[in-house]
Structure 1
Amino acid sequence: MLVLRGTIIALLSALASAEHRHAKKLTSEQIGTIGDATFDYVIVGGGTAGLTIAARLASVASVAVVEAGGYYEIDYGNASVVPLYSLTKIDVIDPSENFPHRPEIDWELTTVPQVNANKRVIHYAQGKTLGGSSALNTMSYVRSSAAAYQRWVGMVGDDSYKFDNLLPHFRKSVHLTPPNLEKRNAANATPQYDTSVYGNGGPLEVSWNNWVDPTITWLATAMQAIGMSINPKGWSAGDLNGGSWVPSTIDTALATRESAETSFLEYALANTSLQVYPHSTVTKILLNGTSARGVKVETNGTVYELSARKEVIISAGTFHSPQLLMISGIGPKATLDELGIPLVADLPGVGQNLRDPISIGTSHIVNTISGQSIVSNQVTEPKALRQYKEEAAGPYSSAAGWIAYERLTSELRSTLPQSTQEKLAALPVDSPELSFIAGASVLPNGTSQGAMSATICNTFSVGSVSIRSAKISDPPIIDLGWFSDPADADILVAGIKRLRQVWATEPAQNITLGAEVRPGADVGTDAEMLDYIRANAQQIWHPSSTCSMGKKGDRNAVVDSEARVFGVEKLRVMDFSIVPFSIPGHPQATVYMLAEKIADAIKRG
């Protein structure tokens, strides 16, 4: 049984069922034997992308996956399994310097001081576990817009990235379960979606929460009152406009998190001879000249080599994939020369072009109940626990709820500096510029709080990832570059103004008690809002583009449109680092699709 330290859920029969279905133990035949070995494909990283591409390739070839962590259900317990806990108990997402240390599931990365964000040092949680960050996220399954994928086509020169051409790869990974309207029990929260864009044969369970938060229904109604109307196609048909109830990667039969581990890894272990090397670290890519031949691995102090007959595939994430390339001699010549690392391929784009969308929040005290207020109340919690244990329903079964996307209104656009207006005008005309998420929480005194955040959809600021030594054990140097382009802050100012318009609507006023809590009455002018944003903006854990896909010869391009590293044979990078710009939506849907797409390309030869 999986038990979280201090959790209010002791021994959930629902989790017992989940553990029985997904036995959290690799058999001796599935664990890679420590020592030199040879496979067709060696995959570095058992996260969202790594496990997906591993499962697909293992159906036709011998495959090894090397993962630094183990099973998150064992190492982190209920916090990573129960949907509500993705919002309340995953403490490692604390962005402050005083974050809780959980080295068993988090890489514990921190940034350099962000000079344009009050010199804050940001802790950037990244999943060090089977499933990667799909074990820590809020499970939202939101594809990007057709306009964004069309922009991708232009940047990489490949029509296969058009949304219609990507749909088969999106469909392939998904098994859609329609929303359970009886369990949701909310007539004003019936999801609308286009069934034709989903699939029913993939390992990944996608559905909607089995419970709807009352506070969020009011805030969703308030957003609709100012024009963010319901999108009838939902968030998987390529149109990010208006609002919609969010589909999630939740196993609705059990009301537990669905990750790359519970989906693709379990599928591969049951149907292929995939070999997994858990609690193991790749310290270097091994090369013969400019051709990858394998990787050097360290497991509990033992160092050995895994050789690849066909390819090495790096799926170590936006921060570690460029680090591993650089310490292996692939990256900016000046950086490698400085550290005495022999140059294999001069790729100046490795570690560059980092894009990190940021968000700012607003909140009010409200008179409505929420999932968090229910489970924190000794009177109402027992019923919620019974619902979860017996019905896979109630507040514990619910994670993300409502998201809206829109382009700035002409009124707000006119308040922006001309330079920012010009940057926005250069984007596709149907590309959203801000997303708005409705949420609810409970304060320590039991008071309910409604919250709404605004997030930029197209990051203009650029950061970087570099290395401090040739050792993988030395953390990468991460500069998120927050507000290096002032347009991002300008857009978030407009976001606060838009959220205040939402709070001023009749539906929102019906539930608010008293004045605004955040930012508060003393934050009124644009200058005051800018100061507030620089001090309080946070990441949404969607970093990208440090191994950008592009055309050969492009300065930022690291991989081609099939994820092959320029200048190095038998080597690919396959994770969110290869997306060439910050795309609207949430990463995991696109990452699953990309892994399916690249796996198909590899199998075609």
Structure 2
Amino acid sequence: MSPFSFLLHFLLYTTTTHAHKPHRTRLRSSAWGIPGHNATYDYIIIGGGTTGLTLAARLAPLFSVAVIEAGSFHDLDNGNGSVVPFYSLTQQPFTSSDPNYPRQPLIDYDLRSVPLPHANNRTVHYAQAKSLGGCTTHNTMGYLRATVGSHKSWAEISGDPRYEFGQMLKYFKSSVELTPPDWKKRNTPNATFEYDKGAFERKGKGGPVQVSYPAWVDPSVTWFAKAFAREGLPLSQEGFSSGRLEGYSSYIPISVDSRTGERSTARSYLESVLLETEIIVYHRTIGMKINFEGKRAKSVEVDTEGLGYTLSARREIIVSAGVFHSPQILMVSGLGPKEFLERKGIQVVADLPGVGRNLQDQITISLGNGIGTIPTGGGYVGSADPEVQAEILDWYLNEQGGPLSSLGALLSFEKVPERYRSSLSNRTLSLLGTLDDDWPEIEIIGAGGPSEAGNSTLGFLGAVLLRPFSIGNVTIKSDSMKDTPVIDLGWLSDPADKEVLVAAFKRLRQIMNSTVWEEIKLPGDEEIFPGRGVQTDEEILEYIKNSVTTIWHASSTCSMGKAGDEKKGAVVDFAGRVLGGVQGLRVADMSVLPVQLPTHPQGTMYALGEKIAADMLEGR
């Protein structure tokens, strides 16, 4: 399917399902920018990802807007891997952190870290989506929100009380539309859960991103829920969208359109305004450099597959290129640490020491064991039986249900339990004590998946470090955006992270050793990884160094702060405006978070786009 046939399909869908405009079959503009032609717009957005497209959609009804995106359409470049929910786990091998991962240059930037000295000098591939919709096109689609306390910290650091959870709630609500759980389709009475309807209800229609609850229940999750409860984790009575992250929830909302069973992405924002505005998209196009007159951003030099030209902005340029590429284009354009830029031969526009600094990344460890939870009556997604595979495919295509429609996982949040907390050093306890009382320290994820043989289930438990104290950075090799940025993830450089992960590993093993598993363990089954040979703190830490990986939530490389805090590392203000006397330039994406929030960030990035768009429309 070409971009044009996709557009035709979209137009036909729109004109046949929106009765109030039955005869519209044409866009108001061409929608796609013409490479090689200089042009001028009110706003230019560099990066068509989660926050970038949110901003574009909110600005386009009132202003001329151009979006520059290095990738293209995920459903063309990555096929069903970016469309069918379950395939986000099984048909996207390019998300592997192994530096020898299977490359997919159409949709991934091929970013690799420098060797990480505190993780046994491993080099890590860090998947970043090169696509309209950004990382919402290949994430695992979980929709959660952070805690009241962490939003309070964000508000205090930025100096804007509207980042407090209660005030951000309207932006959360305006970005998504929730479909309640279909209990009949789920058909599993022992996998019910609670959620707060008020966290999504609003006057009028919801936002363009469709969010729903999984239409199929992985039986492994019901057993994980029993084990979590047995080992002291309470069932959340609200779900994880109301400002509290405590206990476990059997199922969380995922960004899946319940009507089609397909992934719903940030591209939904773009599609929501294509017919009614003159928005222009330059896909397969790289923003190479921002040009300034004095300290005012005026234009962007762009490159479409080797063809260079210039796009100018009457009002502002917004950088939304992600946690690695946003600081890169700022530095290439002369914004960053003065001495470093001068060494690279780059003319300095503004001395901003914080550009590329303060990189924070949530990291995760895991263990696994064999369990006997294969569903009876067919439908086992790991089965090698062609008839079973045909059955689950028909189930998905015809009813938008079954294993392919879902990601079966159990999520929980907690402080490090006291039995393991007692082994933490005073320094680590002091650092954890700086967090708000409602700020969870670890997330535990339980899931089942097919074994390599395809005839049993692998029970998987993972622990995520929600507030890393290790700090990394992003720098540049040269003054060209075609050279990948230099990424030092900084993993485990702070001893506190090592201590918390060792404690988290012990917590995982406690849950996996729960008596609940005796009912479903396969005969003679032992811990598959890391294995019972790993017992002492030293052995656990060595396993962590060799296996710790990312969940792709890196943040904070263009941190938000108050005007005057540039020397302390602040790069943008509360509205994303670049500091240091710079005018006409904003940054809006994961890079502006002043501190990593204890959640999966998809929902926050939509809300951030809504909030900054409101700031702009209100003259801030």
> TM-score range with shorter-chain normalisation?
over 0.9
Asked if the contact 1:114/1:481 (under 8 Å) is kept, the reply is yes
Matches within 5 A, 1:549-564: 549-554=560-565, 555-564=568-577
* Alpha-carbon distance, 1:88 to partner: 1.1
Match of 1:545 in 2: 556
The answer to whether the aligner puts 1:535 opposite 2:546 as a matched pair is yes
Match of 1:318 in 2: 323
Distance 1:265 1:17, change over 3 A: closer
Asked if the contact 1:39/1:63 (under 8 Å) is kept, the reply is yes
* Alpha-carbon distance, 1:409 to partner: 1.4
* Alpha-carbon distance, 1:556 to partner: 1.4
Query: In the alignment, which of 578, 586, 597 is matched to residue 572 of structure 1?
Result: 586
* Alpha-carbon distance, 1:378 to partner: 2.8
Task: Give the Cα separation in 2 of the matches to 1:524 and 1:357.
Answer: 24
Aligned residue identity for 1:239: R
Secondary structure of the residue aligned to 1:322 is helix
Query: In the alignment, which of 233, 239, 260 is matched to residue 244 of structure 2?
Result: 239
Match of 1:109 in 2: 111
Instruction: For structure 1, list consecutive stretches of 5 or more residues without a partner in the other structure.
Output: 3-15
Asked if the contact 2:381/2:404 (under 8 Å) is kept, the reply is no
Match of 1:134 in 2: 136
Asked if the contact 2:380/2:388 (under 8 Å) is kept, the reply is no
The answer to whether the aligner puts 1:289 opposite 2:291 as a matched pair is no
Distance 1:133 1:519, change over 3 A: same
Asked if the contact 2:94/2:101 (under 8 Å) is kept, the reply is yes
The answer to whether the aligner puts 1:599 opposite 2:613 as a matched pair is yes
Task: Give the Cα separation in 2 of the matches to 1:358 and 1:230.
Answer: 24
Query: In the alignment, which of 429, 436, 440 is matched to residue 448 of structure 2?
Result: 440
Moved more, 555-564 or 148-157: 148-157
Aligned residue identity for 2:364: S
Match of 2:189 in 1: 187
Distance 1:564 1:259, change over 3 A: same
Matches within 5 A, 1:101-180: 101-180=103-182
* Alpha-carbon distance, 1:503 to partner: 1.3
* Alpha-carbon distance, 1:442 to partner: 1.5
Task: Give the Cα separation in 2 of the matches to 1:231 and 1:383.
Answer: 34
TM-superposition CA deviations, 1:238-261 (whole Å, max 9, x none): 000001121110011111111111
Match of 1:43 in 2: 45
Query: In the alignment, which of 422, 426, 438 is matched to residue 418 of structure 1?
Result: 426
Task: Give the Cα separation in 1 of the matches to 2:270 and 2:520.
Answer: 44
Match of 2:497 in 1: 488
TM-superposition CA deviations, 1:382-404 (whole Å, max 9, x none): 22112111100000000253200
Task: Give the Cα separation in 1 of the matches to 2:290 and 2:311.
Answer: 10
Distance 1:342 1:580, change over 3 A: same
Query: In the alignment, which of 336, 339, 342 is matched to residue 337 of structure 1?
Result: 342
Task: Give the Cα separation in 2 of the matches to 1:49 and 1:173.
Answer: 11
Asked if the contact 2:381/2:403 (under 8 Å) is kept, the reply is no
Secondary structure of the residue aligned to 2:139 is coil
Secondary structure of the residue aligned to 2:299 is strand
Secondary structure of the residue aligned to 2:291 is strand
Aligned residue identity for 1:454: A
Asked if the contact 2:247/2:414 (under 8 Å) is kept, the reply is yes
Task: Give the Cα separation in 1 of the matches to 2:519 and 2:609.
Answer: 46
Secondary structure of the residue aligned to 2:53 is helix
* Alpha-carbon distance, 1:270 to partner: 2.6
* Alpha-carbon distance, 1:380 to partner: 2.2
Aligned residue identity for 1:189: A
Match of 1:473 in 2: 482
Moved more, 591-600 or 242-251: 242-251
Task: Give the Cα separation in 2 of the matches to 1:26 and 1:463.
Answer: 48
Task: Give the Cα separation in 2 of the matches to 1:185 and 1:506.
Answer: 27
Task: Give the Cα separation in 2 of the matches to 1:360 and 1:26.
Answer: 50
* Alpha-carbon distance, 1:335 to partner: 1.1
TM-score (norm 1): 0.95
* Alpha-carbon distance, 1:544 to partner: 0.1
Task: Give the Cα separation in 2 of the matches to 1:301 and 1:541.
Answer: 30
Distance 1:72 1:391, change over 3 A: same
Task: Give the Cα separation in 1 of the matches to 2:617 and 2:66.
Answer: 16
The answer to whether the aligner puts 1:251 opposite 2:257 as a matched pair is yes
Calculate percent identity across the aligned residue pairs. 44
Task: Give the Cα separation in 2 of the matches to 1:324 and 1:26.
Answer: 35
Query: In the alignment, which of 457, 464, 473 is matched to residue 455 of structure 1?
Result: 464
Task: Give the Cα separation in 2 of the matches to 1:412 and 1:45.
Answer: 43
* Alpha-carbon distance, 1:162 to partner: 0.7
Match of 1:5 in 2: none
Task: Give the Cα separation in 1 of the matches to 2:270 and 2:87.
Answer: 23
* Alpha-carbon distance, 1:504 to partner: 1.9
Moved more, 191-200 or 413-422: 191-200
TM-superposition CA deviations, 1:47-82 (whole Å, max 9, x none): 111111100000111100000111010111011110
Query: In the alignment, which of 83, 86, 104 is matched to residue 84 of structure 1?
Result: 86
TM-superposition CA deviations, 1:156-189 (whole Å, max 9, x none): 1221111001001111111110011111111122
Aligned residue identity for 2:579: F
* Alpha-carbon distance, 1:33 to partner: 2.2
Asked if the contact 2:361/2:596 (under 8 Å) is kept, the reply is yes
Asked if the contact 1:173/1:596 (under 8 Å) is kept, the reply is yes
Query: In the alignment, which of 526, 537, 551 is matched to residue 526 of structure 1?
Result: 537
Match of 1:388 in 2: 396
Moved more, 432-441 or 503-512: 503-512
Distance 1:574 1:116, change over 3 A: same
Asked if the contact 1:114/1:480 (under 8 Å) is kept, the reply is yes
Secondary structure of the residue aligned to 2:420 is helix
Task: State the 4+ residue runs in structure 1 displaced beyond 6 angstroms.
Answer: 16-20, 25-28
The answer to whether the aligner puts 1:29 opposite 2:40 as a matched pair is no
Q: CA RMSD in A?
A: 1.9
Task: Give the Cα separation in 2 of the matches to 1:357 and 1:376.
Answer: 35
Task: Give the Cα separation in 2 of the matches to 1:549 and 1:400.
Answer: 35
Distance 1:22 1:349, change over 3 A: farther
Moved more, 548-557 or 125-134: 548-557
Query: In the alignment, which of 407, 426, 431 is matched to residue 439 of structure 2?
Result: 431
Distance 1:457 1:158, change over 3 A: same
* Alpha-carbon distance, 1:411 to partner: 1.3
Asked if the contact 2:218/2:408 (under 8 Å) is kept, the reply is no
* Alpha-carbon distance, 1:429 to partner: 1.3
Aligned residue identity for 1:142: L
Instruction: For structure 2, list consecutive stretches of 5 or more residues without a partner in the other structure.
Output: 3-7, 16-24
Secondary structure of the residue aligned to 2:361 is coil
Moved more, 152-161 or 316-325: 152-161
Secondary structure of the residue aligned to 2:559 is coil
* Alpha-carbon distance, 1:483 to partner: 0.5
Task: Give the Cα separation in 2 of the matches to 1:85 and 1:418.
Answer: 44
